[in-house]
Amino acid sequence: MSPQCALTALISLLFATVTAKAMISQWPEDDGAALLVFKEKLDGGGTTLPSWNQSTHFCTWQGVICGRRHPERVTTINLTTADLMGQISPSIGNLSFLRNIFLDDNSLDGEILSSIGRLCCLRFLVLKFNSLDGKIPFELFNCSELTIINLYRNRFVGNVLHWFDSLLVCKNNLTGVIPTLLANAHPSRSWCCTITT
């Protein structure tokens, strides 16, 4: 190979590498990377969420909605009845613009990780009809916008959290006293709770 051909090949290779890195770095604050780590934590390998790959922009992936004001930021993950198995990755806590998580009616297991407490914009957390267990993390208190939490039909244990407008925790193994705030709740507040005292 002539030196001129070798130089041209080297420049082409460098250009391709820089272009690929630039495409990935366009993903703001690693929203796309956080989603890919989330996918890796699920069972099923490449067959799970096949649209979640680096060949397309993450805002076009199944169940991912990006914002209107911040079109490059993930605001909703809606993977209801998506046949997901495995655990929720702590990387979900890196999606700083995330407002809504709908992972209901899947086969997710493990715990809700404290990293979700970093989601200061989170309003809806719907995880009903899974096999999640452990305690409901106190770090959810950091989600000051969180108003709806639906954990119906899981295997959570521990004390009831009481600072949400709507708390649905039936069919779990929660213990403790019903907080006064919920016991005297206004009819506009909805909650469902089976408590073992």
pLDDT in tens, 98-109: 999 999 999 999
Question: What's the pLDDT score for residue 37?
Answer: 94
Residue 190 has pLDDT above 80, yes or no: no
CATH topology of domain 29-192: 3.80.10
Question: What's the pLDDT score for residue 187?
Answer: 44
Q: What percent of the chain has pLDDT over 90?
A: 52
Ranked by mean pLDDT, the top range of 117-131, 139-153, 172-186 is 117-131
> What band does 152 get if pLDDT is binned at 50, 70 and 90?
confident
Q: How far apart are CA 61 and CA 177, in angstroms?
A: 42
Question: What's the pLDDT score for residue 149?
Answer: 87
Residue 15 has pLDDT above 60, yes or no: no
Question: What's the pLDDT score for residue 167?
Answer: 56
Mean pLDDT of the region 74-79: 98
Start-to-end CA span in the chain (Å): 80
Strands 124-126 and 148-150: parallel
pLDDT in tens, 40-66: 999 986 689 999 999 999 999 999 999
Provide the sign of the torsion angle of the four alpha carbons 25, 53, 58, 111, taken in this order. Answer: negative
Mean pLDDT across the chain, nearest whole number? 79
Q: Quick one: which of 195, 138, 144, 134 has its CA closest to 165?
A: 144
